[in-house]
């Protein structure tokens, strides 16, 4: 059962890696240091999309989700590399292990960010500087660290100075640093919510902080009250290391009435199982980062094979396709008695770091999955970042 480390006033860090994928590429290949680097899919095609880029590339106007052809026009000497998700995951693991040297109260929220409760620390600013320096020297990864009395203020602070920023945000700083901002700039408020708030005369964070509780609850439900609390610097959520593994796996399996002997039969079974897994993920508000299949043969020999997903997902079609791909690669053609699909690594949808596999945007423009991914990008990188272009 979760217990807070202490009851005194909290000191929370939010550690956010800067241009994580590009930084990992530079850590793996030091020759890229100081160069404009972009991670993108379909690097040889015009339709490739920028997943992330170094600050040197950003200085030349390159931005996340920008078409590759446009990025190269802005920055002719742009170094473009394809994504290597397994390596990114490895560096993420190393990063969190380093953070856990300072406190057991570490809560990962995505591949490149997490919270730390360092309430027992006597000099949190010096600790933040040491963590930042060690990540840079030992892993060659720059980060920004926000320090606050709760998760919301720590997260808000970490966004205030990038790269390599360390920012303290206290409740007494709200009037100066947070309240003047447009309400859509507040962490956790998306474009649609911002438009609705504007409709009711709430344009700045200060407007939200001073809004009437009854009206907010009437128009936005309990989330209206939560938004107002955040605007006033109130956030009671604990740093909970166990939350990352509350739903470590979500799956479904079935024992077949007759042995399965073809890929076509397997696909039909996977479709049903994928639908069940998708429903459970959606019910819990989670997305899958890694999927595994279980194959049990008629002689009861059982194997499990897994694959990290390029995009965090909760969609039936994605789950079915991945399961079938794994089956094609690993089935030995003996009769199958049982099949199963399990999301072996899951995170809350709102915290998911989508790997931005948008390498065929034009083809999938009307696809519902694309809409979900684009929305996720905007939540992480800012509203209005994505613009529709002409064909």
Q: At CB < 8 A and 24+ separation, what contacts does 86-93 make? A: 86/308, 87/24, 87/28, 88/20, 88/21, 88/24, 89/308, 91/20, 91/24, 91/27, 91/139, 91/141, 92/20
Q: What is the phi/psi pair of residue 379, to 5°?
A: -65, -35
- Using the 8-state DSSP alphabet, how is residue 181 labeled? S
Cα–Cα distance for residue pair 76/99, rounded to 1 Å: 38
Catalytic residue among 25, 56, 107, 113: 113
What are the beta bridge partners of residue 147? 13, 168
The answer to the question of whether 112 is labelled as a binding residue is: yes
The answer to the question of whether 159 is labelled as a binding residue is: no
Element (H, E) at 347: strand 336-348
Q: Confirm whether 113 is a catalytic residue.
A: yes
Angle at 280 between CA 279 and CA 284, to 5 degrees: 115
Residue whose structure tokens are 């700083």: 173
Residues 305/329, Cβ–Cβ less than 8 Å: yes
User: Which residues contribute to the annotated binding site for Mg(2+)?
Assistant: 16, 112
User: Which residues contribute to the annotated binding site?
Assistant: 16, 112
Q: Which residues are catalytic?
A: 113
């Amino acid at each position: 059962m979760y217990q807070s480390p202490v009851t005194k006033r909290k000191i929370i860090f939010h550690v956010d890696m800067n241009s994580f994928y590009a930084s990992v590429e530079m850590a793996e290949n030091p020759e890229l240091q100081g160069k404009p680097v972009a991670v993108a899919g379909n690097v040889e095609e015009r339709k490739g999309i920028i997943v992330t880029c170094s600050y040197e590339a950003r200085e030349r106007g390159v931005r996340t989700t920008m078409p590759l052809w446009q990025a190269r026009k802005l920055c002719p000497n742009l170094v473009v590399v394809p994504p290597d998700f397994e390596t990114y995951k490895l560096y993420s693991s190393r990063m969190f292990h380093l953070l856990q040297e300072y406190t057991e109260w570490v809560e990962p929220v995505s591949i490149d960010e997490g919270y730390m409760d360092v309430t027992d620390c006597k000099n949190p600013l010096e600790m933040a500087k040491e963590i930042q320096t060690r990540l840079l020297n030992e892993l060659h990864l720059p980060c920004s660290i926000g320090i606050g009395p709760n998760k919301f203020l720590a997260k808000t602070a970490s966004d205030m100075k990038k790269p390599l920023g360390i920012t303290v945000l206290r409740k007494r700083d709200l009037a100066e640093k947070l309240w003047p901002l447009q309400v859509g700039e507040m962490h956790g408020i998306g474009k649609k919510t911002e438009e609705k708030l504007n409709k009711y005369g709430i344009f700045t964070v200060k407007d939200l902080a001073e809004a009437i509780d009854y009206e907010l609850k009437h128009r936005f439900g309990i989330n209206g009250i939560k938004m107002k609390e955040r605007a006033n610097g109130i956030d009671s959520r604990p740093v909970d290391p166990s939350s990352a593994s509350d739903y470590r796996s979500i799956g479904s399996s079935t024992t077949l009435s007759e042995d399965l002997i073809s890929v076509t039969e397997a696909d039909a079974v996977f479709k049903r199982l994928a639908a069940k897994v998708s429903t459970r993920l959606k019910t819990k508000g989670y997305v899958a980062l890694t999927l595994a299949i279980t194959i049990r043969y008629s002689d009861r020999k059982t194997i499990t094979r897994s694959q990290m997903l390029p995009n965090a997902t909760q969609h039936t079609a994605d789950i079915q396709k991945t399961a079938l791909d794994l089956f094609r690669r690993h089935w030995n053609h003996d009769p199958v008695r049982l099949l199963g699909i399990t999301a072996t690594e899951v995170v809350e949808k709102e915290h998911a770091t989508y790997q931005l596999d948008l390498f065929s945007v034009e083809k999938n423009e009307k696809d519902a999955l694309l809409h979900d991914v684009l929305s996720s990008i905007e939540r992480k990188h800012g509203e209005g970042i994505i613009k529709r272009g002409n064909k």
